[in-house]
Amino acid sequence: MKNRIEIIERQNKTLHRLNEIASISNITPKETLRDALIIGKEYFGLGFGIVSHIVGQDYTIEVQSSPKDTLYDGQLFPLGSTYCNTTLELDDVLAITDVTKSKYVGHPCHKEFELISYIGMPIRVNSQIYGTISFSSPQARQLEYDEIDDSFMRLLARWAGSFLERQFALDQITKLSKVVEQIDDTVVIADKAGVLTFVNDAFITHTGFSREESIGKKTSILKSGHHDKAFYEDMWAQILAGKIFRGLLTNKKKNGELFYEEITITPIKNDAGDITSFVSTGKDITQRIEMQHNLENLASTDKLTGIYNRHKFEELFENEIKRALRYKHSLSLIMFDIDYFKKVNDIYGHDVGDEVLQKIVNIVKDNIRSIDIFARWGGEEFFVLCPQTSIENTKVLAEKLRKAIEVFSFVEAGSITSSFGVTSYTPKDTRDTFIKRVDDALYMAKNKGRNRIELYESI
């Protein structure tokens, strides 16, 4: 009984969170649904969350929350290839803990997408099937789905349906509304020369320019300098040709602060078909862009040291190889690791080991150039990629780093040394052969006694 009460309390807390995000007005309906999917994923312990829109035999991902580079909003699938097709046939919750141990083994979704665990429910909007809300994973769920999970899935589907109904109603109201002063989006009207003739209250709020400071001025008062001349030439070419322009602008407020705005510029024509003015609507998406930047930064940096992680290094590594080939620049690579680092962890503990890694990273950062690419490859192994640098000069840098580490006094661990491998790229190299050669050079340094540098020049 106690366990059931705890589950119900957990459900109530989850529903409370859903209602809270639905009441937030500064995020789009799509992002609200995405937040709801994140909450659902946490509840069920699954990696994929989808709200779909189904029309005929077309299954479109309306909104998704999934691992990077797997699914995207707007992605289209044949309905028959999805578990949601079976969900619609049931017109109720479909819960599959492990498809390989169920009657649905061999289902097209299992064959094509290797999804093992799934729970989904149809969504109704205004009493009509809109699509589904579902959660899934390529691994079997440890806990069997039960009637409590089923009932909660029904609640989620009702919540999503109610949310979508509200959004559709609001959309209709927005379309009919002519009172532009009541919307948060900026609305401006400019003449053919780009001189502002109208701005709404949202424009004043978002930019800091008063109505008096705006009317009669050109739209260039918002220029941030982050777009080149070609960008504006292309924008004006489109709207002067009578086309609608849509884009993301980095603009500048009166106080100099930058903000990101999704804008739509629509040419207005007279009865003769001549363009007389332009209406621009804009949505401030600064928070979303900053959040994206923060997430991208988290995804590209090593959590402990703050330098690039392996994934980001591989991306930059490929770019530098292409640049070296294109411009015939030299490109050299240092690989180093910490000698007897395992002993440091074993003797002094992992906290001290982490501190050693952080201090060594700071030593290296203080001694390399801004164009050098420094990354943690894994464990105590690091790369320094040196664009436009010969193998001889890279060896000099490696020696500088080796000495700086050797003479540094680590408070807890005492003296630490490192071993280095150095090599240089040739047009015959692939990424893998380049890395293997520097790895071999490091291996030679370790075999020859450590705390030294070994070069491996390509023949």
Q: Which two tokens stand for residue 451?
A: 């705390």
Question: Checking DSSP bridges between strand 58-65 and strand 48-55, what pairing results, if any?
Answer: antiparallel
Instruction: Assign 337 to helix, strand or coil.
Output: strand
Nearest to 104 by CA among 76, 145, 70, 63: 145
Q: Is 315 a catalytic residue?
A: no
- Written in H, E and C, the secondary structure of 80-126 is HHCHHHHHHHHCCCEEECCHHHCCCCCCHHHHHHCCCEEEEEEEEEC
- From the list 380, 392, 399, 406, the catalytic residue is 380
Please tell me the distance from the alpha carbon of residue 427 to that of residue 235, in angstroms, as a whole number: 41
Residues 6+ apart with CB under 8 A from 100: 110, 116, 140
Q: In what order do the strands lie in the sheet with 331-338?
A: 373-378, 381-387, 331-338, 418-424, 453-455
Active site residues: 380
